[in-house]
Structure 1
């Protein structure tokens, strides 16, 4: 038996798709995950998505569709998380190539359906911004979701729309999505998260990271992105709901406007017209800024001292958790230094690592950490830089 899951926005949606498939079906058959190679500058220094022409080593699936095996490689300087996902997860990852617009994705999807004859087709979105109208002020990245929604609504096959972790992408508040959500399909558990545990250690997706954290029982407020957006971590976080596909299209003005687009440029032009912006324009501007930013070696003493101030300010805002992306961008570090920064913090303050999130130190921990750094970051008063009592054995 074969199942087809379309990861609406790519990236973290593909990881969530793997977790959902394992949770619902276990080892019963296999799933093909149809997803973008679009890592949004967190891994890839180039703006926008990568198409088939940006890779070597892809495997032909159908005339218009390529799968991404573990041995595939993006052409430098591009980068992609897909080959590593293919190496660590048992699923097959098929590449959404959006450079022929919604018509091209529709054609790819139709070929996949004819080739696979899947028993089910799911369109999965983490957070729920696929249900947006397009004029919401908090909406930041609607184009990828709009393209997959437009394509899924045009194929001659039943497609189930699933929303995981309502509100966790920080695009639409969960309260604004309640009336749009249908039946509960699943609530993720800590056991479900174990199926993607190795991926969570390195994958940069903030939304899927919070989805996994809430499934493990983490609650509070998580600060994300360069803007420091606060996202509530609640009991709704680990849920997966069905939503009406046709109603989503009727609501999503951008998806309706790009139904017949034949290029990505054309779809992007509609995004500027309908929503007032293009997420790829934002990536272009940010990429240009990062290109001029020197990549200096990380100074552990400076970073740990800065972390004390960052956490104190975050705690004053009611924040309980954050992501390594948020910390890296607050420090002005490039995406290629995110993993190095994360490892530095985990090595020095392991008790604050709520996989895959970073727990903000408590006021008591902060007071001890300040004492530890009053002499230029050197250990004083029996504690280390993160406030761990050096005289007390830890597990």
Structure 2
């Protein structure tokens, strides 16, 4: 028998699912994590989630169940980090294809449960937008989570929902979220994060990185790339909350409205009705704007200029510190300084050499910020 976990939303949720599986059942317990291939435009320039047919080399484990392996590859122009992630996480990764809507996802989840030989599901979300009501001004990506909730309900398989790192996705404000989700059931500790060492050096999930940082005892104000305001890493940031599926359905009107939905276009329409927007439509607009205004640079051939990158970093760090921020994610540094891969590697090596305390995995500590507590 394998444990069956479902990563409710974006790129960081399968990492979080693997972390919680290790904490709940031990890292060596066999498990399957079902996840969308729905990644940020910086990874996948094609808006929306990917279908199974957007990949080569998936492993057909059973009818309706496609596994992602290190030799799986997205078909260009699509991109995906799931193949690389499958080589670093201990649970197997299975692909959720949402183009058949709630009913299609329910069939895939049921097939995975039969393959695993299990009669229970753990549904995992980092941040807590799975408990969104749909009208929060900072809500950005409710559809994937709501589809996963509705699909689990449609299977009839008993499902437990875990929310890790409440508020770390910056979508539902913490004072609004905490009364909805109740008291935490446990706190993720530093030892449980060893299974994801190094992943956030290359993976852009900021909510996942913040959860790991909080579990490792990092405390302070952290600035991320994809958030309207900085986040405070405190004791609550490493907490894990457990809810029944019925409670989440009660909280999430979009999930309730998606019952019986049979394709992704219909799900988009439902999202517009309940939340006032479709995140896929927003991705289409962003992708079209980027294509129209920013010609893609030939990054692999751009000359390395480590000195210029360090100069830019020093000025950027000074301005960021002035905003009261003590820690930043790798993704924020790379994207805000517009670094190619070689420049980023050289810059980070220089920072580690000059002041090893700057690197507080998986975050970076700014120069004048107080050092992290000893662990």
> If the length of structure 2 is used for normalisation, what is the TM-score?
0.90
> Which position in structure 2 is the counterpart of 1:354?
360
- Count the aligned residue pairs: 361
How far apart in 1 are the matches of 2:308 and 2:281? 33
Shift of 1:173: 2.1
Residue 2 of structure 1 contacts residue 119 of structure 1 at CA under 8 Å; is this kept in 2?
Answer: no
Find 1:304's aligned residue among 310, 314, 338. 310
How far apart in 1 are the matches of 2:338 and 2:200? 23
Pair 1:323 & 2:325 matched = no
CA shift in 2, pair 1:254/1:361, >3 Å: same
CA shift in 2, pair 1:22/1:302, >3 Å: same
> Which position in structure 2 is the counterpart of 1:260?
260
Residue 113 of structure 2 contacts residue 119 of structure 2 at CA under 8 Å; is this kept in 1?
Answer: no
Pair 1:314 & 2:314 matched = no
> Which position in structure 2 is the counterpart of 1:344?
346
Q: What are the superposed Cα offsets for residues 16-45 of structure 1, whole Å, 9 maximum, x if unpaired?
A: 111111222225530100101111213112
> Which position in structure 2 is the counterpart of 1:293?
295
| Superposition pairs of residues 33-182 of structure 1, within 5 angstroms | 33-118=33-118, 120-182=120-182
How far apart in 1 are the matches of 2:128 and 2:86? 25
Residue 167 of structure 1 contacts residue 173 of structure 1 at CA under 8 Å; is this kept in 2?
Answer: yes
> Which position in structure 1 is the counterpart of 2:279?
279
Shift of 1:283: 1.7
Following TM superposition, where does structure 1 have runs of at least 4 consecutive aligned residues deviating by more than 4 angstroms? none
> Which position in structure 2 is the counterpart of 1:189?
189
Deviates more, 1:233-242 or 1:311-320: 311-320
CA shift in 2, pair 1:18/1:342, >3 Å: farther
Residue 180 of structure 1 contacts residue 243 of structure 1 at CA under 8 Å; is this kept in 2?
Answer: no
> Which position in structure 1 is the counterpart of 2:14?
14
Q: Which has the larger radius of gyration?
A: 1
Shift of 1:128: 0.4
**How big is the alpha-carbon RMSD for the aligned residues of Structure 1 and Structure 2?**
2.1
Q: What are the superposed Cα offsets for residues 142-201 of structure 1, whole Å, 9 maximum, x if unpaired?
A: 111111011112221210000000001111122222222245333222211111103222
Q: Residue 242 of structure 2 aligns to a residue in which SS?
A: strand
Q: Residue 154 of structure 1 aligns to a residue in which SS?
A: helix
Residue 201 of structure 2 contacts residue 330 of structure 2 at CA under 8 Å; is this kept in 1?
Answer: no
> Which position in structure 2 is the counterpart of 1:387?
none
> Which position in structure 2 is the counterpart of 1:375?
none
Shift of 1:121: 1.4
Gaps of 5+ in 2: none
> If the length of structure 1 is used for normalisation, what is the TM-score?
0.86
Q: What are the superposed Cα offsets for residues 189-224 of structure 1, whole Å, 9 maximum, x if unpaired?
A: 221111110322211110000000111111111111
> Which position in structure 2 is the counterpart of 1:377?
none
Q: Residue 230 of structure 2 aligns to a residue in which SS?
A: strand
Gaps of 5+ in 1: 366-395
Q: Residue 35 of structure 1 aligns to a residue in which SS?
A: strand
How far apart in 2 are the matches of 1:272 and 1:326? 30
Q: Residue 41 of structure 1 aligns to a residue in which SS?
A: coil
Pair 1:234 & 2:240 matched = no
How far apart in 1 are the matches of 2:202 and 2:290? 21
